[in-house]
Amino acid sequence: MKLICVTLLIISGFADSRADKFDVVGPAAPVVTVSGEDVILPCSLKPNISAVNMRVEWFILSLKGSVVHLYEDHEDRNTDQLQSYGGRTQVFKEELEKGNTSLKLSRVQISDEGLYKCFVQSKSWYDDITVDLRVDAAGSVPVITVDGFDGSGGLHLQCESKGWNPEPELVWLDSEGVTLTSESTDTHRDDTNGFSVKHAITVYNSDTKYHCRVKLRHHMVETEIITSSKMFTSWKTLMILISVAVLFGMIAGILIVVMIHKKRVLYQVLQDQKKTTQNEITIKRKYAAVNVTLDADSAHPHLTVSHNWKQVRFQDAQSNEEKEEDEEQNCRFDIRNCVLGTFESKDQFYFEVHMWKLTDWDVGVARKSINRKGWIDLNPSNGFWTVGVRFGTMYQACGNPHVPLTLHVKPKRVGVFVNYVKGRVSFYDVESWSHIFTFTGQSFNEELNPFFCLGFGESNAQGVMTLCNDF
């Protein structure tokens, strides 16, 4: 009898230990974010058992397992937390019951980049996974300095830019847009401030414009300098002419090699950019998407809003009686075929809109108090942050002044992301997973509403705009 009891206890203990087992799972690909933004490092239990009574510890491997965040005994215990993470980490306690042990990291810094370990331990079992966090940062506008002359009368120019991550590409261009070869390069990486790049060239032409351009994925900044005859000595010897000819011959040869190399790597670069943008859109869809509906009372009299307030199209001219009634409604747009959207306001929000058969359109956000009467110039000074197209081919960001956009694919479905705190409005081509344009450094002193425009007049407004919820 005793033998039977012992056997039953062993079997019961084995079953209990098996029931308590779990796997910790996370993303296979790196998590990519932008410096200054908030990011979620995904981590969860499989099966989705409760982690409320477990120990959840996040630490960074590059600093020998230093504690980033610790949850234990139903509360945060961050007495041993790295000082640089103070006040910037959070686990979602309301989600622990569902097995969600993800970490929110606020105000991401370049120094946060690295491999993070998510370690979860119960009374009888533990498991962990590693999450790779990568941080992008756009650096400063490049500064060009004049650094003297060489023995043949050439002018030394030096260009420097700081604060990038990962390492950017710095190039010199002449007035014709031809890439010039840097004679000296200096790249330095600081764990806190990112990469600093410095390139120098020697030029021989006066009254010529030279550009220093720094590029990183969809970020690009540029500075130019015009060399005047006063910068050069009066030497006009044959040696100078020969030196210049040799220099440009070398540049031409290097350009040919660079162009061949760029063609080989262009596809991979585009694929990497596509993956990065796809990850950004996926995060925004998950954490910032809002349910936008159209405000029919704001719509131009020639626009028809569907019964579910998700679709708008141009209609035939109304009767005189209907026009008179609409003219009495001061809240309607009366020149452009525009309409506003409404939603439950929040500090960050994201929505998508699909354009069907429209050759002229504008999409973005606008201040709630914008003028809706007469001709409206869409730009931030007037309370509009939009991108759009004219005649089906001329794409532009409506800024001060408007910025022409070169798009390889005509966007039919556009995502719009607004961050009130950071003063950013970003636009994405959702179907091709590409970034279109971002307004940065904006100041929003009042509530913003989604804004939609089907051009003006009738001939260029034959199409439909639809707000999308299928993601």
Q: Which of 140, 150, 149 is nearest to 170 (CA)?
A: 140
What is the tens place of the pLDDT at every residue in 189-211? 887 788 999 999 988 887 788 98
Peptide bond into 411 cis (omega under 30): no
Please report how many Cα atoms fall inside a 13 Å half-sphere around the Cα of residue 224, on the Cβ side: 11
Task: Yes or no: say if 347 and 444 are a contact pair by the CB < 8 Å rule.
Answer: no
Residue 201's CATH number: 2.60.40.10
Cα Rg of the chain, angstroms: 29
Compute how many other C-beta atoms are within 10 angstroms of the C-beta atom of residue 183.
16
Residue 279 placed within a domain = no
Give the phi and the psi of residue 252 in degrees, each rounded to 5: -60, -45
Same domain, 333 and 386: yes
Residue 379's CATH number: 2.60.120.920
Same domain, 69 and 164: no
Give the per-residue pLDDT at 15.
43
Same domain, 32 and 78: yes
Residue 2 placed within a domain = no
223, pLDDT greater than 60: yes
Please report which confidence band the pLDDT of residue 335 belongs to, taking 50, 70 and 90 as the band edges: confident
Q: Residue 464: enclosing H or E segment and its boundaries?
A: strand 464-468
Considering the entire predicted model, what is its pTM? 0.46
Compute how many other C-beta atoms are within 10 angstroms of the C-beta atom of residue 116.
23
As for how many domains the chain has, the answer is 3
- Cβ neighbors of 95 (< 8 A, separation 6 or more) are 102
Same domain, 304 and 445: yes
Same domain, 330 and 259: no
Distance CA 32, CA 112 (A): 12
Residue 9 placed within a domain = no
Distance CA 371, CA 383 (A): 9
Q: Which of 329, 393, 385 is nearest to 358 (CA)?
A: 393
Give the per-residue pLDDT at 266.
67
220, pLDDT greater than 90: no
Same domain, 128 and 151: no
Q: What percent of the chain has pLDDT over 70?
A: 86
What is the domain extent for residue 456?
Answer: 288-468
Residue 15 placed within a domain = no
Same domain, 304 and 218: no
